[in-house]
Chains A and B, each alone.
Chain A
Amino acid sequence: MEWYVISFINTHTAMTAQKHLKETFEIVILPTPRELSQGCGIAIRIRSEDYPAVTERLKEVSSDQQTYGIYGFSNGSYTKV
């Protein structure tokens, strides 16, 4: 994967995740890509090498894994992880 994008069920979940992830990881805040219709408007892009550590961190800060979705980007399109 070239990178991963995390989308969220609502804005507050996105903001909380942003707060926690930016402490440790190099993240980019972006509008949720149009291809990913689900989720609120705020998404977070992470580097592909950070993927394993980010998923662990997300499990710690979010008790409910239904509140976000992770998509891998490669060859011009997104695939749900």
Chain B
Amino acid sequence: MSRQIDARGKSCPIPVVMAKKETDQGEKQFSILVDNKTAVENLKRFAKSRGYESEITEAGADFLVTMTDAESGEECSLMDYDKSWAVLIGRDGIGEGDPVLGATLLKMYLYTLCQSDALPNYILMMNGGVRTAVEHEQSVEHLKDLETRGVSVLVCGTCLNYFGLEKDLKTGTVSNMYDIATAMSSVDKVVTL
């Protein structure tokens, strides 16, 4: 019986950190019990990056992720899971200058992110940035895609309320300052657009 780790109730990125501890110790096979799909997706991506095969078994409301060292030992250089990161979208577009250009650049950035394997753990939206998950059709599609690949999209509820957009949110999770601040402090770096 391989080693089993209980990571239920642990928020992202703790389950991945726990898995990393095992791979760093050279553990060939181990299982991690988690209670949410985001953690499953994160662990799957982590396993791939470390040359481990992952197998998911549903255990009631929980998921058991079993990781086995693939013989090839092939490393994926694109993904560096030592570094977790978050993107903060704090306005309706990228940077200052021209708002229309800023909105276009943000669509291009999210498009590029979707093409990449090195995904952030979080996308956080505050102030005018919440419009990204409401008004811009292309950006909404990209955000949905990123969510299915395990990225947590947290949208500031206070900001949605301020702009009267609560009912119009198309993707992401309505969140609060506690969760957003926790997400920021749990990652290695936060990229502000």
Interfacial residues, chain A to chain B (CB-CB below 8 A)? 11, 15, 18, 27-31, 41-42
Q: Which residue of B lies closest to A32 (CB)?
A: B108
| Residues of B108-127 whose CB lies within 8 A of A | 108, 111-112
B102: shortest Cβ distance to chain A, in Å? 11
B48: shortest Cβ distance to chain A, in Å? 23
Which of A11, A27, A31, A41 lies at the interface centre, i.e. has the most chain B CB atoms within 10 A of its CB? A31
What is the interface of chain B mostly: helix, strand, loop, or mixed? helix
Contact call B100/A15, Cβ cutoff below 8 A? yes
Contact call A31/B104, Cβ cutoff below 8 A? no
- How far apart sit A41 and B101, CA to CA, in the bound complex (Å)? 12
B2 at interface, CB cutoff 8 A: no
Contact call B101/A30, Cβ cutoff below 8 A? no
Contacts of B104 in A (CB 8 A): 15, 18, 29, 42
Contact call A29/B108, Cβ cutoff below 8 A? yes
* Beyond known contacts A30-B108, A41-B108, A42-B104: 8 more, CB 8 A cutoff: A11-B101, A18-B104, A27-B138, A29-B107, A29-B108, A30-B111, A30-B112, A31-B111
Contacts of A28 in B (CB 8 A): 107, 111, 138
Which of A11, A18, A31 contacts B112 (CB under 8 A)?
A31
Contacts of A27 in B (CB 8 A): 138
Contacts of A30 in B (CB 8 A): 108, 111-112
